[in-house]
Chains A and B, each alone.
Chain A
Amino acid sequence: MGSQLNESSKAVKKQIPVAEGLFYQPSSPGEKPYLIGSKCTVCGYITFPKIPVCPRCAKKDTMGEIHLSGKGKVESFTIVWSPLPGFKAPSVQSYIKLNEGITIWSLMADCEPSEEALKIGMDVELVIGKVREDAEGNEIISYQFRPVKNN
């Protein structure tokens, strides 16, 4: 944390989650991050993010919170050369099929933005990290997936 050495005149940069209730960021080295989803106690339908009413059963109060493992496979990917303001370019956006069965949209982290560096079906894991900075220089953090080493 070299940036904290001469912080007397500078505000400490904060890490701000992109949205509340989307993921858990570990606070100690022994913990793993997870995504916060929901599962219907009647039909078993799984969603991410968490939602209050099951779209299949359409009954009140059947959805319970679950923690999604954060393991999955690349279902589709694209290299984005014109991202939204503040986001890195080029970068990789993907569909990730989670081990729990649902396919979600995600940014990719720790991978070269090239057709050769990525493969459909490759194993990926959840990582929480910076996706952009806000106007004050704070880090906006979000869920991302990265290739599992020795893939």
Chain B
Amino acid sequence: MRDVVIIGVGMTRFGRFLDRSPQDLGREAIWNAIEDANIPLKQIQVAYVGNAVGAQLNELKGTIGQHVLTTAGIDSIPVTNVENACSSASSALRLAALEVASGNHDIALAVGVEKMYTGDTAKAAASMASGTPYAKYGFTFVAEYALNLRKWMRKYPAVKVEHFAKVVVKNSKNGSLNPYAQFRKPLSVEDVLHSRMVANPLTLYMCSGIGDGSAAAIVCTKKIARKYTSKPLIEVAACELLSGTYTYPDEAHEACSSRAAKQAYERAGIGPEDVNVAEVHDAMAPAELKLYEELGFCQEGESARMIDEGRTMINGTIPVNPSGGLAAKGHPVGATGLAQIAEIVWQLRGEAGDRQVSNPKVGLTQNQGGLVVGDNAACVVTILKK
């Protein structure tokens, strides 16, 4: 397999844009990535486009990738649409990277796009649950997070709701420094705990909201990259996708994200201690704590101490979600994975402005989606190296 580097990334601001179509959002992200890569548009040889709930919420019901790409000025090349719920965009990146690694193509584009806000947030929430067979029974993802969190809190009584609030406080502060973030107001522990209850013990500010946006990345070989850009090349050292195991909520199993992380560390030839910055899937902010453990940033049962000691803040030993994460940056589901990638690329290049982590060399993203029985439907862990 050939080495693969990211030569350009781009995204739109995340937010609620009633007057913008998925095509228009995708066009902006693609052109931001094209300009970042300093590459002529027509050099793109193949593209993968992630989108999760467009067929339910948007006027356009199919081949969204081709429509987005033609709006951006790209036609005639092979295009594949990718749907893996909230992990659609990083699944698209994986396929683009494999095109280059395999030698099938030299320059590939990955795009994630989602247009969720149509004036009806209940409809958008229903579209998320519809990826499970349980939606018609009344199942909601926020309740599922709450049920699992409560089991976890019983197992580790040191974990309190205040710890969940501290994750939100950290991420809202990071988001306030990010011009691409949907929510830019720094929140206090009191703000978080006193916001409206959504599903005990999760309050409104602990949950990611409904939003629109797009993000894109261009990958190629090192040799080609050097023809176009003088920016630091960011190597895709691993981009590992796994499905969950068929297990009921009470059945012992290794979490999908933990399995994907182990595989990614092995492929990249590093361990969790080598990661300098990470973007993780905090669709509900408290889940970030669990991910510290599943990704190996701390031992099982020690995540509450991680947040108490500020170790995952921008100036901490392992900064997590410097972009603000899903809860502050926003979570247009099919775009999220590539927005995480864009943030890590900017961090590794030293281009992250006010939220810059001190000189990181290795970054990680973790992006998950869907639910099958008691595990995630999909999880992608990506490791990027400067």
**Residues of chain B with a CB closer than 8 A to A84's CB:** 122, 125-126, 129, 135, 138-140
Cross-chain contact B125 with A82 (CB below 8 angstroms): yes
Chain A 124-151 residues near chain B, CB threshold 8 A: 131-132, 140, 142-143
Q: What is the bound-complex CA distance between A81 and B134, given in angstroms? A: 18
Chain A residue with minimal CB distance to B147? Answer: A76
Q: What is the bound-complex CA distance between A125 and B139, given in angstroms? A: 19
Identify which of A5-13, A25-33, A60-68, A90-98 touches chain B.
A90-98
> B249 at the A/B interface (Cβ < 8 Å)?
yes
> A120 at the A/B interface (Cβ < 8 Å)?
yes
Interface centre among A97, A102, A140, A143 (most CB of B within 10 A): A102
| 1/0 contact string of B102-139 vs chain A (CB within 8 Å) | 00000000000000000000110110010001111111
| Also in contact, A93 and B143, with CB within 8 A (given A84-B122, A85-B126) | yes
> A111 at the A/B interface (Cβ < 8 Å)?
no
**Residues of chain B with a CB closer than 8 A to A85's CB:** 122-123, 126
Nearest-Cβ distance from residue B151 to partner chain A, whole angstroms: 5
> A24 at the A/B interface (Cβ < 8 Å)?
no
Cross-chain contact A81 with B250 (CB below 8 angstroms): no
Nearest-Cβ distance from residue B37 to partner chain A, whole angstroms: 41
| 1/0 contact string of A62-92 vs chain B (CB within 8 Å) | 0000000000000111111111110100010
**Residues of chain A with a CB closer than 8 A to B245's CB:** 55
Cross-chain contact B147 with A78 (CB below 8 angstroms): yes
Q: What is the bound-complex CA distance between A87 and B199, given in angstroms? A: 14
Cross-chain contact B199 with A93 (CB below 8 angstroms): yes
Chain B 143-201 residues near chain A, CB threshold 8 A: 143-144, 146-148, 150-151, 154, 196-200
> B273 at the A/B interface (Cβ < 8 Å)?
no
Q: How many of A's residues come within 8 Å of B, CB to CB?
A: 34
| Also in contact, A80 and B140, with CB within 8 A (given A93-B199, A94-B147, A105-B134) | yes
**Residues of chain A with a CB closer than 8 A to B140's CB:** 80, 82-84, 93
Q: What is the bound-complex CA distance between A107 and B147, given in angstroms? A: 12
> B228 at the A/B interface (Cβ < 8 Å)?
no
> B251 at the A/B interface (Cβ < 8 Å)?
yes
Interface residue from B125, B139, B150, B202 paired with A105 (Cβ < 8 Å): B139
Q: How many of B's residues come within 8 Å of A, CB to CB?
A: 35
| Also in contact, A103 and B248, with CB within 8 A (given A76-B148, A93-B140) | yes
Q: What is the bound-complex CA distance between A19 and B123, given in angstroms? A: 21
**Residues of chain B with a CB closer than 8 A to A78's CB:** 143, 146-147, 150, 199-200, 202
Cross-chain contact B151 with A81 (CB below 8 angstroms): no
| 1/0 contact string of B329-354 vs chain A (CB within 8 Å) | 00000000000000000000000000
Nearest-Cβ distance from residue B116 to partner chain A, whole angstroms: 15
Nearest-Cβ distance from residue A91 to partner chain B, whole angstroms: 8
Interface residue from B154, B246, B250, B251 paired with A120 (Cβ < 8 Å): B154
Q: What is the bound-complex CA distance between A84 and B120, given in angstroms? A: 12
**Residues of chain A with a CB closer than 8 A to B196's CB:** 81
Nearest-Cβ distance from residue A23 to partner chain B, whole angstroms: 11
Chain B residue with minimal CB distance to A54? Answer: B246
Q: What is the bound-complex CA distance between A95 and B249, given in angstroms? A: 8
Cross-chain contact B147 with A82 (CB below 8 angstroms): no
| Also in contact, A18 and B137, with CB within 8 A (given A95-B250, A97-B250) | yes
> B142 at the A/B interface (Cβ < 8 Å)?
yes
Cross-chain contact A103 with B199 (CB below 8 angstroms): no
Chain B 75-127 residues near chain A, CB threshold 8 A: 122-123, 125-126
Cross-chain contact A80 with B143 (CB below 8 angstroms): yes
> A104 at the A/B interface (Cβ < 8 Å)?
yes
Nearest-Cβ distance from residue A101 to partner chain B, whole angstroms: 9
**Residues of chain B with a CB closer than 8 A to A142's CB:** 137-138
**Residues of chain B with a CB closer than 8 A to A75's CB:** 151, 249-250
Chain A residue with minimal CB distance to B120? Answer: A85
**Residues of chain B with a CB closer than 8 A to A140's CB:** 136
Chain A residue with minimal CB distance to B136? Answer: A18
| 1/0 contact string of B241-264 vs chain A (CB within 8 Å) | 000011011110000000000000
Q: What is the bound-complex CA distance between A131 and B136, given in angstroms? A: 10
Give chain A's interface residues, CB within 8 Å of chain B: 18-19, 49, 55, 75-85, 87, 91, 93-95, 97, 102-107, 115, 120, 131-132, 140, 142-143
Seed contacts A103-B250, A105-B147, A142-B138; 9 additional CB < 8 Å A-B pairs: A19-B137, A78-B150, A78-B199, A80-B198, A87-B138, A93-B146, A95-B249, A97-B250, A131-B138
9 pairs, CB–CB < 8 Å, chain A vs chain B: A77-B147, A77-B150, A78-B146, A79-B200, A84-B122, A84-B135, A103-B251, A105-B249, A106-B137
